[in-house]
Amino acid sequence: MTSETCDVCVIGSGAGGSVIACRAAQAGRSVVVIERGPYLRAAQMNDSEIEMIPRLYKDGGLHMNSGLDMFILQGTCVGGSTTLSNMVMMRAPEAVLPAWRSFGAELDPAAMARSYDTIERELGTAESDPTTHSGSTRRFVAGARSLGLSPRRMRKALGACRGCGNCNIGCAFDTKRSALATYVPWAERHGARILADTEVDRIEIRRGRAAAVHVRTGHGGERSRIVAKQFVVAGGAINSSALLLRSGIRKNVGSRVSFNAGSMMVAEFDEPLDGYDADQMTWFLPGDGFIIEPTHNPLMSAALTTPGWLDEHERLMRRQRHLAYAGSLISTGPTGRVVQSPFWGHEETRFRASPDDVAALRRGLKVISEVFFAAGARRLILPTHRFRTIESASAIDTIDEHVVSTRHFSFGSAHPQGGNAMSSDASVGVVGSDFAVHGLENLFVCDASIFPSSVTVNPISTVMAIADYAAPRILARA
């Protein structure tokens, strides 16, 4: 088995890992980043979902919870989930850091604010560009305003975006400011080595320290061992917990998994809105326990999120130009759990949406319905597996009857969080406020898995800001 040595070994090249790797390389450390997915440059990307989704997503986009009533989307490629993201940049709402602090995650708020500033500046974060707003989103915004609601423009890091609407399958135009286009190449420029198509199987622990990681590369599964002074696990929620469990680190690991999760409502209009022909996501509407995000997926993904079976589904897909979509996004409680499956030999994500989660989701779906009817929609289609429509605003309350159990409607998340919660109290947390795994002084975790509870908004900005905050603190421990 071959072996190589470095100062800092980062596992995962997504939002957390890329920033840590970049800062460590800028500080003159020798850095190796291990990424189990492929290194696909913009020039190798295209607008074919059939080609891109299996190459970029974990389990080809088919990862589910163990109850099979929630899909969970994550990236498996250099840049991690940021490569597939819309680069919506939202800071944690004011209540979040104090709530985390009361769990024992002592992140200095002033230093965190500076890290948010740094990340936003480096990525060129700005309000979404009006020239890329879709026809369907404009209608949603007009409908919301006519009801006296206050939708807000998203802040995004998209560079000179052309509004092709394909953010979720990469960025063939190389404008999106994902980690793939920013912190990863910036880290490389300072000497970091990216080992793509390479998976960390386990972390070797010896005498209270991480000694090495054992990796497999490529289809042949060639095995090697990487020795480092410091290791930073940044494989993302679920994956990072799975890796710690596989490495025999079990205390509190896998618990407190939460999600921003949601369902999509579809509205049919008489006139064409061409929602797909623009940036997918540019406005949002905050609500009571939910956020509404009008959006539009590329065609194949739209087919998966558009309800109906056979002829009904085909008819709706042929009406794509006339459809508008909006998601009701809720943040769940930290009730999920990652376990190592004795049957399958890999991790399982155990999570069931609570009645409160579903009630918040319904509230959001009702607001979406009111907004779309106010915007002139002819009818609405519920996210239920049985095809159900709402033909007028007076029937919106039927949502209460039909959206009750996640077994009966489509529900999913692209924002898993937690599993390795941060708390200085080792009896409840996995990492301390210094990002080190309790009891292992040179093994750190820095990704969405350390959130003690859901950040309640889109997480990239917070994951990156936390990594920027963590980097000097971790490097100072070498």
Ligand X SMILES: Cc1cc2nc3c(=O)[nH]c(=O)nc-3n(C[C@H](O)[C@H](O)[C@H](O)COP(=O)(O)OP(=O)(O)OC[C@H]3O[C@@H](n4cnc5c(N)ncnc54)[C@H](O)[C@@H]3O)c2cc1C
The values of phi and psi at residue 53, to 5°, are -60, -50
Shortest Å distance, C-beta 96 to ligand X: 14
Contacting residue, 65, 81, 255, 295, with ligand X by CB under 6 A: 81
Site for ligand X in 272-301 (CB under 6 A): none
Tell me the number of residues near ligand X by CB under 6 A: 42
Tokens 């996995």 belong to residue:
430
Tell me the angle at which helices 460-475 and 109-123 cross, rounded to the nearest 10 degrees. Answer: 110
Shortest Å distance, C-beta 284 to ligand X: 11
Contacting residue, 9, 21, 80, 295, with ligand X by CB under 6 A: 80
- Residue 329: which H helix or E strand, with range? strand 323-331
Site for ligand X in 399-418 (CB under 6 A): 414-415
- DSSP bridge partners of 246: none
Shortest Å distance, C-beta 467 to ligand X: 8
- Sequence-ordered list of residues with C-beta below 8 angstroms from that of 344, at least 6 positions apart, any chain: none
Asked if residue 11 binds ligand X (CB under 6 A), the reply is yes
Shortest Å distance, C-beta 198 to ligand X: 6
Asked if residue 244 binds ligand X (CB under 6 A), the reply is no
Asked if residue 243 binds ligand X (CB under 6 A), the reply is yes
Site for ligand X in 193-212 (CB under 6 A): 199-200
Q: Which amino acid is at 153?
A: R
User: For ligand X, which stretch binds (CB under 6 A), given 85-93, 124-132, 293-301, 433-441?
Assistant: 85-93
Residues 368, 144: Cα–Cα separation, whole Å: 9
408: Cα separation from own chain's centroid: 24
Residues 254, 346: Cα–Cα separation, whole Å: 13
Q: Residue 57 has what DSSP assignment? A: B
- Sequence-ordered list of residues with C-beta below 8 angstroms from that of 68, at least 6 positions apart, any chain: none
Asked if residue 70 binds ligand X (CB under 6 A), the reply is no
Contacting residue, 16, 170, 262, 452, with ligand X by CB under 6 A: 16
Residues 41, 199: Cα–Cα separation, whole Å: 19
Shortest Å distance, C-beta 451 to ligand X: 9
User: For ligand X, which stretch binds (CB under 6 A), given 77-85, 92-100, 120-128, 435-443?
Assistant: 77-85
Residues 277, 208: Cα–Cα separation, whole Å: 54
Shortest Å distance, C-beta 247 to ligand X: 10
Contact 388, 382 (CB under 8 A): yes
- List of residues contacting ligand X (CB under 6 A): 11-17, 34-37, 73-77, 80-82, 84-88, 168, 199-200, 234-237, 239, 243, 414-415, 447-448, 458-461, 463
